[in-house]
Structure 1
Amino acid sequence: MTLISILVGTLVAGMGSVWLAALLAYALLSRFTQHLLSLAAGALLATAFTRLLPEAFEQAMQSGVSAQALFAALLVGLVFFFLLDKAELWHHGHEHGQDHDHSEHVHHTHDHHHSHSHQSGGWAVLLGDSVHAFGDGILIAAAFVADPRLGIAAALAVMAHEVPHHVGDLVVLRQTLNDPRAALFKLTLAGGVTAIGGVMGYLLVGALHEYLPFFLVVAASSFIYVALADLIPQLQKRLSPKETAAQVTWLFAGIALVAALGEWAQH
């Protein structure tokens, strides 16, 4: 049953985020990607600090793992994801602007992706997405093994932060492939790698169950790194009071979503 839950969760997070991104990109609703950034940042931080880390420490108490060891794992995880980011294997490349119309907005907000695609083509985007999706699958699997409710929260948090990322990827792939359907199909396959990572994570965590607290801490470090190093910096711009209020509202909405999910799952 746990494996089935992992497969469903990883497919929703991996492939579902691609199709939701396609809806946003192709329907010219790109103005919502800024709100999704705020929502995703709140959801990731809330999942890490109110779900994953508390569960990791609870599991550690049962396994006799010290708090110092978990904090060390958290530090190592943050440095590890920083190094992956430097290698452009974990990088999301969200460059969202706010001063253009919907179609021009999508084009303008991913200048970094565009310049990178001209250098290395769409395959670089697909490779990076596949590596990232595989890692996400392992982290989601660790959460499901610890607690199905925790797994659901982790899968939804991953989906939330992947949607803005995939909007940019679709723009790049549509230019490099000159075929919107092929772009969506190939990016969907890359998202499906999340399920492969989920199966591998299930087997790995199952075989090394005593190390489950460390898997959960690494998952938390991934969420914290993406939120603080990737999403939050893009929200630190000079905005009007109305735009700032909307940004903060969506940030707290992400936190509230995780909290509400936790309450719902307990009933």
Structure 2
Amino acid sequence: MSTLGWIILGGVAMSAIALVGGLAALLPQPVLDRVLLPIVGLAAGSLLGGAFFHMLPSAIDALGNNLAVYVWVVAGFVSFFALEQALHWHHCHFRPDEQRQPLGFLLLVADGLHNLVGGLAVGSAFVVDIRVGVVTWLAAAAHEIPQELGDFGVLIQGGWTKRSALLWNFVSALTFLIGGVVAYFSADVVDVAYLLPFAAGNFIYIASADLIPELATHRAGRDKLETTASLLGGLAILYAATWIG
């Protein structure tokens, strides 16, 4: 399969995951409570493993072990921090009884931007190396499931119908495909390898600032064991993938 074919396949599959995540949110709450923590732990481990075991080594191979690589990592980290701060800033400017629909639209815009950047990252990874692209996609997909669960829940609580929430969640996920295709056709104009450390910074931020703190709020002994095991499992899977190919 061609590089563009891999990118398109990955984009379509990521959009399908958005639908699955939304449908999963319709499961009974006790079931969600039981499976969500391990999924979040696995996602955090996968994002960290993808960043440190695959994306950064590939960026260093392509660009050299120089300061610019690490500057792009920091830029990726800070950009997602800024995006999240902007989202939170808007949250606090709505009263609880006024924020429902505006918050839903804002969430979809932010999710669309997030997916666009993710698509650029995965697309650039495929351009640099198919194997790195597959691993980067897997790490992004692991994060997508708990993210879409949360997004769907916010939309439903904000007064959206289930059909509208599923449809618009799917539409916002299509920006992942757009980002991937843009990265592919930009490869002849710009060095998309610089997007690898940028995306690694994104992944590190999401894992360390969003997912791991969520795991840390659960203090029951069994929860701690499950979340630690799932986090280590995600890291182990991505490390094992370094031996493939």
**TM-score, length of structure 1 as denominator length:** 0.81
Aligned pairs for 1:77-116 (under 5 A) are 77-88=76-87
Give how far 1:262 is off: 3.6
Aligned pair count reads 236
Q: 1:117·1:172 contact (CA, 8 Å) conserved in 2?
A: no
Q: Which runs of 5+ in 1 are unaligned?
A: 94-113
Q: 1:9·1:151 contact (CA, 8 Å) conserved in 2?
A: no
Q: For residues 140 and 116 of structure 1, what CA distance do their matches in structure 2 show? A: 37
Percent sequence identity is 31
Q: 1:16·1:159 contact (CA, 8 Å) conserved in 2?
A: no
Give how far 1:76 is off: 2.5
1:128 matched residue in structure 2: 110
Give how far 1:7 is off: 1.1
Q: Give the secondary structure class of the aligned counterpart of 2:32.
A: coil
Q: 2:3·2:126 contact (CA, 8 Å) conserved in 1?
A: yes
1:186-235 alpha-carbon deviations (Å, 9 max, x no partner): 111111111011111112233223x51x2111011110011111111111
1:38 matched residue in structure 2: 41
Q: Give the secondary structure class of the aligned counterpart of 2:187.
A: helix
1:77-129 alpha-carbon deviations (Å, 9 max, x no partner): 2222221221229xxx9xxxxxxxxxxxxxxxxxxxx8895272422221111
2:155 matched residue in structure 1: 173
- The structure 2 residue matched to 1:205, chosen from 183, 187, 191, is 187
2:5 matched residue in structure 1: 4
Judged with a 3 Å threshold, the aligned counterparts in structure 2 of structure 1 residues 25 and 142 are, in CA distance, closer, same or farther, namely same
1:259 matched residue in structure 2: 239
Q: 2:53·2:242 contact (CA, 8 Å) conserved in 1?
A: no
Residue 225, structure 1, aligned to residue 205, structure 2: yes
Q: For residues 17 and 59 of structure 1, what CA distance do their matches in structure 2 show? A: 31
Q: For residues 203 and 220 of structure 1, what CA distance do their matches in structure 2 show? A: 21
Give how far 1:182 is off: 2.1
Q: 1:126·1:190 contact (CA, 8 Å) conserved in 2?
A: yes
Name the amino acid aligned to 1:196: I
Aligned pairs for 1:151-166 (under 5 A) are 151-166=133-148
**TM-score, length of structure 2 as denominator length:** 0.87
Judged with a 3 Å threshold, the aligned counterparts in structure 2 of structure 1 residues 216 and 243 are, in CA distance, closer, same or farther, namely same
Judged with a 3 Å threshold, the aligned counterparts in structure 2 of structure 1 residues 55 and 178 are, in CA distance, closer, same or farther, namely closer
Q: 1:78·1:221 contact (CA, 8 Å) conserved in 2?
A: yes
Give how far 1:183 is off: 1.4
Q: For residues 10 and 259 of structure 1, what CA distance do their matches in structure 2 show? A: 24
Q: For residues 220 and 108 of structure 2, what CA distance do their matches in structure 1 show? A: 36
Q: Give the secondary structure class of the aligned counterpart of 2:87.
A: coil
